[in-house]
Amino acid sequence: MAKNSKRASTVDTAVLAPLDWVDERTAAVRGTKWFLFRNVPRDVNWMQTLGSAALTAFIVQALTGGILAMYYEPSSSINPQTGKPVAYSSIEAITTDLTWGWLVRGMHRWGASVFIILLFLHMGRVFLFGAYKYPRELTWITGVLILVTGMLMGFTGYLLPWDQTAYWASAVGINLNGTAPFLGPWLAQFLAGGPEIGSETLAKFYAMHMLLIPGALIALIFVHIYLVTRLGVSSPPWSGEAAGRERPAAKPEAGRSGLVRGSGGD
Amino acid sequence: MSDSGNHTRHQPGSSLWPIGFAVGVACLLLGLVINWIITPIGLVLAVVFGVLWARDVSRDVRGEVPEIEPETRAVADEATESPAPVAAPEEPLPTYSRSRFLEASTVGLGAAIGALVTIPVLGFTILPSFKDVAEPDIDLGPIDNFPEGTYVIASYLSNPKVGEVSRRTAFVRNNGMTAKGPSFTILYSRCVHLGCPIQPNGPIDEQARKDVNGVELRPVLAQSFGCPCHGGLYDSEGNRRAGPPVRSLDRYTYSIKDGRLILVSLYSVANVSGTGADAQISSYSWASPGVHVDGVEAWLYPIVPSQVTGVP
């Protein structure tokens, strides 16, 4: 602690006492410190922030997607006012009529590509650094599953604008699944809800895009980040420091005084 | 002999009941699609094998000894020489504690409840895609609308209630009269590579456009069809001439009723030799685009949905 002035102790009581109260009952503060205040190798670099960047992109997708869902209607029936399908009309309304709708839709539409690109860059970094090796194999495997579910998000989301591009690209995508051996044709018919794309396909893809796949994706992200936190960040391959070396003891006066009592240095 | 002291119990092999259980569930689901009569058979199979499987799995928990005879090798003369085996000291009877019972019943009840909830949900998820997917027959109007020897683009809604999303396109060519009545070649417009809409390579006669009960008819001068997506090219009989498609274009079966042309259902075609009314068509049950229907590759697709559902 810095100065033991009266003011400092008042702050202590006002801010820290409630936190202590919560922490005693939930371990939330200890958990947050365990998650955030980790030792990392001295020579980490910017490339090791690609995972956090991908996480940020996902959070942007989740928020903008949640907002878009307030205005989007997944129906292929014709809107009598516009003479176009309800889904396409609602997309048009989001883009042209609603305040900043173009921005939120644009963020979601381009953010989808950003998310996938960041996943690939992150994967490339992990591969080139050899960071998938013992003990981080399961982190890699959950990461691969995140990539696959992320691509499923892209596949199911692409149909939702319900324009010609969406329709035919999804037809090709569904038939591509249909060429898988043995169960492929069954998978294709399941995805389309029948021999051809129909009105059920849109509702089905919407449900998958909004509920099922995001649920799986969020669960996978939690497991992935838990493993990263538990196992720590790996050194770059050119690191001169021996792996598993003990960290030198922090100097008390130089250490940051952390978020909460007793979290600075040690 | 070294064998004599080695009468250890053999570990039971891994259970085969799950296979029977899976067959039962598959039978049940298939029954729901094809015929209600098969459903109870599947149900019985699933329940019987499920119970056997559960018995197998819970053997350790229940503390039951697997009924496997220890392997013995009785050598005749040795058996006579050695004295009668000493009765083994009486072992305490295996106990079955309350906590074991509660553990097993919790897991068992949980599994039963889980199955009760999961099976209907699974059926609801999967079956609607395969049940009642038949599309009605389509009346394309009087056959006089189809001039002999040229293709006509027929565009119709297979289900007007659903709307534009059910729009289908067929390329219809009148092959003229044969001994068995009028002959037609009717190609489906979906590319058999990945299902994009193929286009006739020729000028469309928009002046001769007709509308018959919501079916749009436009004659076209085309001797080939091309796909804009990945460059598939088909000749006038629907045979692949270039590009990635894996078979010939799908065709419709048709009937003539009161001088009107009726589209009935789709089938897949491996190859067509000959042309028009004399064409020899190797036909197969309809398969989704990209699926091989003949040759070695067709082994990868032993059963396609239309063989089970009979549709389309």
The nearest alpha carbon in chain A to B301 belongs to A182
Predicted local distance difference test score (pLDDT) of residue A142: 98
Q: Do B195 and A179 touch (CB under 8 A)?
A: no
pLDDT at res. A246: 60
Q: Write the ipTM.
A: 0.80
Amino acid A4: pLDDT: 66
A171/B194 CB distance under 8 A: yes
CA A194 to chain centre: 32
Tokens for B231, please give them: 């460059």
CA distance A210 to chain B (A): 16
Please state the rounded mean pLDDT for residues A72-91: 93
pLDDT attached to residue B8: 55
Nearest CA-CA distance, residue B311 and chain A, Å = 8
Locate the DSSP E strands across A48-160: 78-79, 84-85
**Average pLDDT of the residues in B225-246:** 95
* Confidence (pLDDT) at A266: 40
Lowest mean pLDDT among A2-11, A69-78, B35-44, B61-70: B61-70
Residue bearing tokens 């559960």: B54
The first and second tokens of residue A72, run together, are 């989007």
DSSP result, chain B? -TTTT--PPPPPPPP-HHHHHHHHHHHHHHHHHH-TTHHHHHHHHHHHHHHHHHHHHTHHHHTPPP--PPP----HHHHHHSPPPPPPPPPPPPP--HHHHHHHHHHHHHHHHHHHHHHHHHHHHHGGGTSS-PPPPEEEEEGGGS-BTSEEEEEEES-TTT-GGGEEEEEEEEEEEETTEEEEEEEESB-TTT-PBPEESS-B-GGG-EEETTEEEEEE--SEEE-TTT--EEETTS-EEESS--SEEEEEEEEEETTEEEEEEEEEEEEEES-GGG-EEEEES---TT---SSGGGGG-S--HHHHH---
**With 80 as the cut, is the pLDDT of residue B153 above it?**
yes
Q: What number of H helices and E strands is found in chain A?
A: 11, 2
User: Is B202's pLDDT higher than 70?
Assistant: yes
How many contacts (CB atoms, under 8 Å) link A and B?
83
Lowest model confidence (mean pLDDT) among A201-205, A246-250, B90-94, B194-198 = A246-250
pLDDT number for residue B5: 47
A182 touches chain B (CB under 8 A): yes
A1 pLDDT tier (thresholds 50, 70, 90):
very low
Out of B129, B290, B305, closest to residue A175 by CB: B290
pLDDT tens, A127-168?
999 999 999 999 999 999 999 999 999 999 999 999 999 999
Domains and CATH numbers, chain B: 17-82+97-129 (no CATH), 138-309 (2.102.10.10)
One-letter amino acid for residue A7 of the chain: R
State phi, psi for B64 to the nearest 5 degrees.
-85, 140
- Min mean pLDDT across A209-218, B75-84, B124-133 is at B75-84
Residue A160: predicted pLDDT? 97
Instruction: Tell me the mean pLDDT in the region B206-212.
Output: 92
| Dihedral over Cα of A69, A70, A72, A75: its sign | positive
In angstroms, the CA A193 to CA A189 distance is 6
Q: Is the pLDDT of residue B255 over 80?
A: yes
What secondary structure does DSSP assign to A220-265, as a single string?
HHHHHHHHHHHH-PPPPTT--SPTTPPPPPPPTTTSPP-SSTT-S-
The two three-digit tokens of residue B307, written as one number: 């063989």
Enumerate residues 6+ apart whose C-beta is below 8 A from B21.
B45, B46, B49, B50, B53
CB-based contact B196 A171, cutoff 8 Å: yes
CA B158 to chain centroid: 23
Across residues A104-127, what is the average pLDDT?
97
Which residues share a beta bridge with B225? B200, B234
- Cβ-based contacts of A85 with chain B (< 8 Å): 163-165
What's the pLDDT tens digit per position in B62-79? 766 556 666 666 555 554
Q: Do A195 and B194 touch (CB under 8 A)?
A: no
Does residue B240 have a pLDDT over 50?
A: yes
- pTM, rounded to two decimals: 0.80
The closest CB to that of A172, out of B133, B229, B286, belongs to B229
The fourth-level CATH superfamily of domain A44-230 is: Cytochrome Bc1 Complex; Chain C (1.20.810.10)
Asked whether B204 and B219 are in contact (CB, 8 A), the reply is yes
Instruction: Say whether pLDDT at B107 is over 60.
Output: yes
**Alpha carbon of residue B200 to chain centroid:** 31
Nearest CA among B204, B196, B191, B190 for reference residue B150: B204
Residues 6+ apart with CB under 8 A from B142: B212, B259, B260, B261
Q: Classify residue B169 by burial, with Cβ atoms within 10 Å: 0-12, 13-18, 19+.
A: middle
